[in-house]
Amino acid sequence: YVLYVLAVMLPPMVLALPSNSGHFLQNRLSCVFLLIHVPCFFPSLQTTSSALKGAIQLGITHTVGSLSQKPERDVLLQDFEVVESIFFPSEGSNLTPAHHYGDFRFKTYAPIAFRYFREMFGIRPDDYMYSLCNEDLIELSNSGASGSLFYLSSDDEFIIKTVQHKEAEFLQKLLPGYFMNLNQNKRTLLPKFYGLYCVQAAGKNIRIVVMNNLLPSAVRMHLKYDLKGSTYKRRASPKERDKAVPTYKDLDFMQDMQEGLLMEGDKYSAVCKTLHRDCLLLQSFKIMDYSLLVGVHNLDQACREQASEEAVAGAADQRRPLGQKSLYSTAIEAIQAETGSMGSEDTGDKTGGIPARNSKGERLLVYIGIIDILQSYRFVKRLEHSWKALVHDGDTVSVHRPGFYAERFEKFMCNVVFRKIPCKYRDKGV
């Protein structure tokens, strides 16, 4: 109720905002509405709040801006441990604009190191800031048991994910090795980490990581899988199956896609080689329990649907006009970086999907990436589960020692999920 009062008192304060925050004015009414319903700032991680989004945008705008004023220099080992912190009082300060999200503190982890990473990934500071901060962030429906919130930048390039304290800590520890990998290995299916931040308000810390978006919104995913190479309890729940596009799991894949996703020899080799190097790195960090996210767009099915479904195609497909190319990170680049080829010739695809076929010979675009690499610490928590799984079946445990996990993961992906296209499809002129 205190906040409500603040909110209705906003108009005079809002006038003090810089001109580029005009959209705050437009949203003021809905914001008042929100504040009534969310009387406390970020009462829990579960609460989606436009205040969080607003704080993130103010924070990133500030940190990227102040970073661009620092001269370019080499990243040093110590840069991985730096945490920069700035206070955003709602009434504004000489460094920060006034705002109506309540006082908060914004922390930027390893700013110089992440600036280097963004540069390596070809992201200009202005573009990064513009993509994340210039339009509203889109909240995605929570996928999975992690309890994380997901936001998508309106241009579809970036995912913002809330992470737990331990995950953020782990990412920071990972940075030197991540740096090394990036310098040796342009081809990688690992998550691309663009930034790690923390919004601190009302005694709560909300840590967020900015990553690449694996599944372009403009491309309808006909199938989605979260694969680990394990079979224990690896079936989508009935609740998940009720969704429009459920995220299926290993057992579902084995049942529904018995012939796997068929790729040309060069693509198949590139995927497997990339997975191998990535798994080696994950293993070296004792990371387990990661998944391969697989999105499948069926080009032939899409053609059939187009006529009948045009009305249903919906908002998501309008976010980026089909054919507009993905700016930064695509699956095809991840496996064949040096070729720099942005599209496949036979499909004319510019969204970076990897061309493949299903067993019917239908043309597919496959979007893949390794996800959930920061959650190894859960290993301890899940010991009980692990034990049950161990009893259930010795080598189908999802949580196992890293070398075993990596090997099984790799084997599953390269033997079961992805396969070299057999001659019978070749002859059809694939």
CB of 35 or CB of 113, closer to a copy of itself: 113
Q: Is 65 helix (H, G, I), strand (E, B) or coil?
A: helix
| 420 sits near a copy of itself (criterion: CB under 8 A) | no
| 187 sits near a copy of itself (criterion: CB under 8 A) | no
Q: How far apart are CA 170 and CA 109, in angstroms?
A: 12
Q: Cα 11 to the chain's mean position, in Å?
A: 36
Whether the Cβ atoms of residue 331 and residue 267 lie closer than 8 Å to each other: no
What 8-state DSSP symbol labels residue 421? Answer: P
Reference 199, options 120, 115, 137, 117; nearest CA is 137
Whether the Cβ atoms of residue 64 and residue 114 lie closer than 8 Å to each other: no
| 119 sits near a copy of itself (criterion: CB under 8 A) | no
Q: Which stretch binds a copy of itself (CB under 8 A): 72-80, 289-297, 352-360, 415-423?
A: 72-80
Whether the Cβ atoms of residue 346 and residue 259 lie closer than 8 Å to each other: no
| 280 sits near a copy of itself (criterion: CB under 8 A) | yes
Q: Whats the size of the chain, residue-wise?
A: 430
CB of 150 or CB of 179, closer to a copy of itself: 179
Size of the site for a copy of itself (CB under 8 A): 20
Question: Pick from 30, 284, 318, 341: which binds a copy of itself (CB under 8 A)?
Answer: 284
Taking each continuous run of H as one helix and of E as one strand, the counts in the chain are 17, 14
The torsion angles phi and psi of 364, rounded to 5 degrees, stand at -120, 155
What 8-state DSSP symbol labels residue 142? Answer: P
Q: Which stretch binds a copy of itself (CB under 8 A): 17-25, 97-105, 137-145, 175-183?
A: 175-183
Question: Pick from 185, 205, 269, 359: which binds a copy of itself (CB under 8 A)?
Answer: 185
Q: How far apart are CA 155 and CA 326, in angstroms?
A: 9
Q: Which stretch binds a copy of itself (CB under 8 A): 171-179, 192-200, 310-318, 345-353?
A: 171-179
Q: How far apart are CA 142 and CA 163, in angstroms?
A: 13
| 8 sits near a copy of itself (criterion: CB under 8 A) | no
The CB-of-223 to a copy of itself minimum distance in angstroms stands at: 32
| 122 sits near a copy of itself (criterion: CB under 8 A) | no
The CB-of-181 to a copy of itself minimum distance in angstroms stands at: 7
* Structure tokens, 277: 């190097």
CB of 179 or CB of 409, closer to a copy of itself: 179
Task: Mention every residue, 6+ apart, whose C-beta is less than 8 A from residue 226.
Answer: 144, 247, 248, 249, 291, 292, 293, 294, 371
| 73 sits near a copy of itself (criterion: CB under 8 A) | yes
Q: How far apart are CA 152 and CA 158, in angstroms?
A: 6
The torsion angles phi and psi of 341, rounded to 5 degrees, stand at -75, 125
The CB-of-75 to a copy of itself minimum distance in angstroms stands at: 6
Q: Which stretch binds a copy of itself (CB under 8 A): 54-62, 73-81, 191-199, 250-258?
A: 73-81
The CB-of-125 to a copy of itself minimum distance in angstroms stands at: 18
Q: Cα 230 to the chain's mean position, in Å?
A: 22
Q: Which stretch binds a copy of itself (CB under 8 A): 28-36, 74-82, 136-144, 338-346?
A: 74-82
* Structure tokens, 262: 């068929």
The torsion angles phi and psi of 332, rounded to 5 degrees, stand at -65, -35
CB of 148 or CB of 283, closer to a copy of itself: 283
Residues of span 76-115 touching a copy of itself by CB under 8 A: 76-78
Question: Pick from 101, 170, 179, 197: which binds a copy of itself (CB under 8 A)?
Answer: 179
Question: Pick from 176, 246, 343, 403: which binds a copy of itself (CB under 8 A)?
Answer: 176
| 281 sits near a copy of itself (criterion: CB under 8 A) | yes
Q: Which stretch binds a copy of itself (CB under 8 A): 84-92, 245-253, 277-285, 379-387?
A: 277-285
Q: Which stretch binds a copy of itself (CB under 8 A): 75-83, 158-166, 314-322, 343-351?
A: 75-83
Whether the Cβ atoms of residue 150 and residue 137 lie closer than 8 Å to each other: no
| 180 sits near a copy of itself (criterion: CB under 8 A) | yes
Tell me the chain's radius of gyration from C-alpha atoms: 23
Interface with a copy of itself (CB under 8 A):
73-78, 116, 176-177, 179-181, 183-185, 277, 280-281, 284-285
